[in-house]
Amino acid sequence: MPTTDIYGFLHEDMEAAPKVIEDALSLQLEKAQEDDFPEHYYYRVAILSGPCVQIRRNSGPFVRWQGDPSNQWRPDYPLLVFVHGPHQELVTPHLRHTDPGLSFLETKGSM
């Protein structure tokens, strides 16, 4: 079964978070618009034949996995980082030993 590693930032600075991930993984994230909410954005990168990394807000319409925007998942972490796809274990050591404001939260089954 595919899995997703989930990390959280203790701050909500959506401009600083990508820099932390980019420095840790030596890559560049792109800014993307939310399909259902074009005024909102997130950051992502898909590594060819490798994992996908996304930084998303943990509020409002972005809390899709709960189905209830008023019920935040992991409310102490305003920004969440999702890592999924092939070879996601290659980024784990880099993210787990980076910025002290970034914490590993859990591994969940993916669809």
Q: Is the pLDDT of residue 79 over 80?
A: yes
pTM recorded for the entire structure: 0.84
Token pair listed for 93: 């050591």
pLDDT tens-place string over residues 92-102: 888 887 777 89
- Return the domain boundaries, the chain: 11-103
Q: For position 98, what pLDDT does the model report? A: 75
Summarised one tens digit per residue, pLDDT across range 16-67 is 999 999 999 999 999 998 777 667 789 999 788 888 999 998 876 555 544 5
Burial letters 30-67, b for 16+ CB under 10 A, else e: eeeeeeeeeebebbbbebeeebebbbbbbeeebbeeee
Q: What is the per-residue pLDDT for 65?
A: 47
